[in-house]
Each structure stands twice: as C-alpha cells, then as structure tokens.
Chains A and B, each alone.
Chain A
Amino acid sequence: MSLSARHTLSVWRRNASLYRRTWKVNLLPNFFEPVFYLTAIGIGVGAYITEMGGVSYVEFLVPGLICVSAMHGASFEVTYNVYVRLMYEKSYSVIVTTPVSPDDILIGEVLWAITRASIYGGGFFIVAGVFGLIPGVSALLAVLVIPLTGLMFASIGIAVTLRMPRIELFSFYFTLFLTPLFLFSSIFFPIDERLSGVWLNVAEVLPLLHPVRLTRAAFAGEATMTSVWDASYIIVLSLGLLFWAKGTMRKRLSS
C-alpha cells in the first residue's frame, strides 16, 4: 500500500485532536522559553558583549534560537511520543486495521511533527517580534525555514525511533546529538570565526547549521549560493531518511 493524502491527513488529525485538548498547557511553555532565553542570555550576557556578527548580541541569538525551538518541537514529537504510540499504546496496531497504510502513518506523524515545530518556532518568532528583534520584511522569509527545520528533525528523529531498542536510550539522542548541535551550530557564536579546519567540515555535515544559516540569511536579507546549498541539504537529507524509514515502518507494522 502506498501513500494516500486523505488517509495521511486522518493520522495528522488524530494527533491534532489530542493536542487541542491540552493546547493551553502545551502552548504556554513555548512562549516562556524564548522569553527566558532572550532576557537571560541576550540582555544579561549581552550586556558584556557589544556586538556579534555585526549586530547586538541579543539580535545575533534570535535566528538560531528560532531554529532550536523548531528542532525541539519536532524532536520530542517523533521520539518519545511516536515511541509510546508504537510500543506502549500500540495505537498503530488499531490504525492499520482501517484503510490507513504504514506509509500514511509515517507521513502523518512527520506532518504533525512539522506542525509542532511550527508552533514552537513560530511562537519564538512572535515573541522576538514583540521584543522588537525582527529587523525587516526579509526576515519574514525565516518563517518558511521553520517547517523545513521541522521536516528535517522529524525525519532524523523518526528514523532513529523506528530502530530504538529501549525508551531510556532517547536521552543519548538528546544529550549526545541535539545538545552539541545546539551549542556548535553558530547559534551562540559564529563558528567560522572560532573553529577551524576539520571542525568546520564536521559542522557542515551536521544538520542544525543549515537552517540557522538560512534564517540568518533571511534576517540579513541576503541570499547566497550557500543558502541554496543549505536548503538542498535539508530537503535531500529529509527525503533520504524518510525513504529509509518507510521500509522500517512497514516492517514494524506488518510481520
């Protein structure tokens, strides 16, 4: 069975119905988190730093933190939540008794993770706007990077989840993968000014640098060939991982 748009949407809607019940509780932290970051690091740490990358430190932080929000929004959804649905609640075992296929479930979950990423990243974007930290009209293009970031981290996360032997091991995914990305992807300092040689190549291979650079380009209003590379990286990596995850999901839900 292949992919069907309407069946995929029914999977997305299932998650949306559950989220709608708890949206107030879910949404509030989305707004507090950026406020805390911007005040503590931007205004606190920023007071000791005159400028970074040609702008004030708090302005320097905003594009990267929007991407981090989107990354976290997607990652929590496709790791813990998908794992629980797969292994504990067995939700998929009842969904596949209907005309919904494993492919529909995979893509429905990814679409939902993109939605969560957009709520998180979009929330940060709005808060930054309220703080007067969105520089100009071109920065609105960054809104397009948020779902792309969601797509990429949903694809990475779900590929990992489908092979995850135990739920406890997700802490490794967060502390050994997402946290270093958070710290070394040009969010807190421009890595090309502080790292050199092989480390720059390592950062180039890792995923978070690309949406961060795209968002910065939108904020600065200057797209370059690097932006094309960044966008291509995100799309090719996501599609590749989803293609691989498709086979795994089919196997997990059939046998």
Chain B
Amino acid sequence: MWLPLMGLVIGVIIGLLTDIRIPPEYSNYLSIAILAALDTLFGGIRAQLQNIYDEKVFVSGFFFNILLAASLAFLGVHLGVDLYLAAVFAFGVRLFQNIAVIRRILLTKWTSNGEK
C-alpha cells in the first residue's frame, strides 16, 4: 500500500523542484489535464470497489484522457471557442458521479460491517 503513496510524494517533490517554465496561457491545459487525471483515478477506484477493475483500461484511460483534455483545450483556444468548458463539464460531472458511487459503496460496506 505504501508504494503508490510514495509515488505520489515523489511526484509532488519532482513537480515542486522542476524549474521548467511554461507560458501562462498553457496552464489552462495543465488544469484540464489534472481534472482528467483525477476523473480517471476516481473511476479506477470505483471500478476496483465494484470489482470490475481492469488495469489496461485504467492506465490507457488515464493517459488518453489527459491528452484528449489538453488537446481539446488547445483546439478550443485556436478556434476561439471555449471548448475546454466541455471537458471541465464532462469530467466534473463524472467526477461527482464516481465519488457518489464510491461513497455509496463504502457506506453499504460500513453498514454491513456494523451489522456483523
């Protein structure tokens, strides 16, 4: 269990220490990518709890969603349409749905444990 946590910590440290500067207009893409990553992560946790977790789907979805969200935002900026809003909306809705499902499953588990 400590390995993923350690990975998270190392990632944060690397991110804080990196001295690569990106133009401020690209920070939008990064935010969208983070949203996509969070969505995929919670989707994976839900799948794990529902016992339908598939590693390939999770990993490919993680990176593919990041790239898709970023490119969608990029396209939106160049077309003059705020397409990143579509990504924010879609990922946001799914994020809340996933978290709701996770919460229900955990609640069910907790209540069943308490009855035992």
Q: Do A and B interact?
A: no
**Residues on B facing A (Cβ under 8 Å):** none
